[in-house]
A = this chain, B = another copy of it.
């Protein structure tokens, strides 16, 4: 037993070292690598990815997984190792069933498809992307068909990004959301739009970086266990235990963008920074539960960061670092960060209409994978759903179906995680307030780190040991429900918009 386990741990460590090289290369490509070095770095990335893939599908690794799965040995493993063996065996078996040639073809086609999507988006021309989307749909269907031949393709996809989740559950809670949101949005629309011109101006980017660092420290990001860099799109990446990094991007005329991206990515990073060190080199360290991950980033960004009380202790500092804010009255600022109105682009949407952007994508994905909707009918379907859900119709596909990258590389089934994250966040809020009392005074008194500590203790430390459903059950003692998020929305926006 001990010998197999030691050998297994050695193998895991080696896998992690290759993965660390792959992460670092990816990080570098997105934050630092100059244009002329990209080709060589992509080649090296390909080399190390292949070495890493070989390790995770080697016969030796498979034999160790089989051995450690034997009930009498499995029972002796600690919970981190049990998860590692269970997930490892599942993935090993899945990958074994995918023909090597098909896999290479799928990866290459994804990369090309992504490039074509970029081009089509730039040109605002769906017809350029349509044949590639068509190919990605059929290849993705084939890919998951190899991995899990007995199961419905879309269920497998959902499970890939949010283990343990299924469309029956999502249908139930997304319907709940839809029903609750439509009347809320009518009320908000009736209340009229605030005047936000006081925020217009030029905001120095070096100063925006200082604001970002101040806010990250304020919410509990550990600069000794992470770093921040600049990239085209903000993201968070765990390089290894003790090194969880985020990026940001800065707009000279829209300082709220970097501010809320910082808090959002900070939420992702704080999650991974606080995983218990006992899980180092186990599967629990890798949080592939996208809904749970989003629950933390969206909780920090929206439920904490857009609460006016969050800003009471730091609004003065914000004005010191970015003097333009000294002329923006506090209540105008609070209206600006809670400005709810229908818009076309998901990534720029407010926290309320955002939910409908996700429901739209979820319904589209079901139409694709369940109803086999023809690819060339998808733009029209998108626009119809947009009109139905948000009352606005895109003038072109760039602000419609072409806006997101996800489908271009085959990440079907990913979108629902965003809204699931918000919904879990609503449930966690509910539970925090039961245990710690109302957020408002905690935030107003500058004690946000007490909330961070609660999340660390209840959620972060376990990494992905429990899937999202299990985590919600453990933390809140009940099944997933959209009701807490809806009630948070109604209370908050009722106060802001006065209804």
Query: Taking the complex as formed, is A229 at the interface, i.e. its CB lies under 8 A from any CB of chain B?
Result: yes
Closest Cβ of chain B: how far from A74's Cβ, in Å? Answer: 28
What residues of chain B lie closer than 8 Å to A206, measured between beta carbons? Answer: 206
Count class of interface residues, chain A: 35 or more
Contact stretch, chosen from A20-28, A60-68, A124-132 = A20-28
A224-B17 contact in complex given A28-B24, A241-B40, C-beta closer than 8 Å: no
CB-CB nearest in chain B for A28: B24
Query: Taking the complex as formed, is A37 at the interface, i.e. its CB lies under 8 A from any CB of chain B?
Result: yes
| Proximity string of chain A (157-181) to chain B, C-beta cutoff 8 Å, 1 when within and 0 when not | 0000000000000000000000000
Closest Cβ of chain B: how far from A209's Cβ, in Å? Answer: 9
Within 8 A of B (CB), among A457-483: none
A34-B224 contact in complex given A20-B44, A242-B39, C-beta closer than 8 Å: yes
Query: Taking the complex as formed, is A240 at the interface, i.e. its CB lies under 8 A from any CB of chain B?
Result: yes
What residues of chain B lie closer than 8 Å to A21, measured between beta carbons? Answer: 21, 24-25, 44, 48
Q: Are B17 and A44 in contact (CB under 8 A)?
A: yes
CB-CB nearest in chain B for A209: B206
Most buried by B among A28, A39, A40: A40
CB-CB nearest in chain B for A239: B37
Query: Taking the complex as formed, is A35 at the interface, i.e. its CB lies under 8 A from any CB of chain B?
Result: yes
What residues of chain B lie closer than 8 Å to A40, measured between beta carbons? Answer: 20, 240-243
Q: Are B48 and A17 in contact (CB under 8 A)?
A: yes
Query: Taking the complex as formed, is A103 at the interface, i.e. its CB lies under 8 A from any CB of chain B?
Result: no
Q: Are B229 and A37 in contact (CB under 8 A)?
A: no
Closest Cβ of chain B: how far from A236's Cβ, in Å? Answer: 14
Q: Could you say which of B34, B43, B226 contacts A34, with CB atoms under 8 Å apart?
A: B226
Query: Taking the complex as formed, is A225 at the interface, i.e. its CB lies under 8 A from any CB of chain B?
Result: yes
CB-CB nearest in chain B for A21: B21
CB-CB nearest in chain B for A43: B17
A interface, over-half SS: helix
Q: Are A240 and B41 in contact (CB under 8 A)?
A: yes
Instruction: Give Cα A245 to B379, complex, Å.
Output: 45
Within 8 A of B (CB), among A197-231: 206, 222-227, 229
A-B contact pairs, 13 of them (CB 8 A): A20-B41, A21-B48, A34-B223, A34-B226, A35-B225, A36-B243, A37-B225, A37-B240, A39-B242, A40-B240, A40-B242, A41-B239, A41-B240
Q: Are B17 and A47 in contact (CB under 8 A)?
A: yes
Q: Are B34 and A227 in contact (CB under 8 A)?
A: yes
Query: Taking the complex as formed, is A75 at the interface, i.e. its CB lies under 8 A from any CB of chain B?
Result: no
What residues of chain B lie closer than 8 Å to A38, measured between beta carbons? Answer: 242
Query: Taking the complex as formed, is A278 at the interface, i.e. its CB lies under 8 A from any CB of chain B?
Result: no
Q: Are B227 and A36 in contact (CB under 8 A)?
A: no
Known: A21-B21, A24-B28, A41-B240; 8 extra A-B contacts, CB below 8 A, are: A17-B47, A20-B40, A21-B25, A21-B44, A21-B48, A34-B227, A35-B225, A41-B239
Query: Taking the complex as formed, is A251 at the interface, i.e. its CB lies under 8 A from any CB of chain B?
Result: no
Query: Taking the complex as formed, is A33 at the interface, i.e. its CB lies under 8 A from any CB of chain B?
Result: yes
| Proximity string of chain A (235-276) to chain B, C-beta cutoff 8 Å, 1 when within and 0 when not | 000011111010000000000000000000000000000000
Instruction: Give Cα A360 to B175, complex, Å.
Output: 81
What residues of chain B lie closer than 8 Å to A39, measured between beta carbons? Answer: 242
Closest Cβ of chain B: how far from A252's Cβ, in Å? Answer: 15
Instruction: Give Cα A223 to B21, complex, Å.
Output: 24
Instruction: Give Cα A35 to B241, complex, Å.
Output: 11
Q: Are B36 and A225 in contact (CB under 8 A)?
A: yes
Closest Cβ of chain B: how far from A92's Cβ, in Å? Answer: 23
Query: Taking the complex as formed, is A32 at the interface, i.e. its CB lies under 8 A from any CB of chain B?
Result: yes
Instruction: Give Cα A242 to B3, complex, Å.
Output: 46
Q: Could you say which of B28, B36, B227 contacts A224, with CB atoms under 8 Å apart?
A: B36
Closest Cβ of chain B: how far from A321's Cβ, in Å? Answer: 13
Q: Are A34 and B225 in contact (CB under 8 A)?
A: yes
Q: Are A33 and B224 in contact (CB under 8 A)?
A: no
What residues of chain B lie closer than 8 Å to A48, measured between beta carbons? Answer: 17, 21
What residues of chain B lie closer than 8 Å to A32, measured between beta carbons? Answer: 227, 229, 245
CB-CB nearest in chain B for A25: B24
CB-CB nearest in chain B for A225: B36
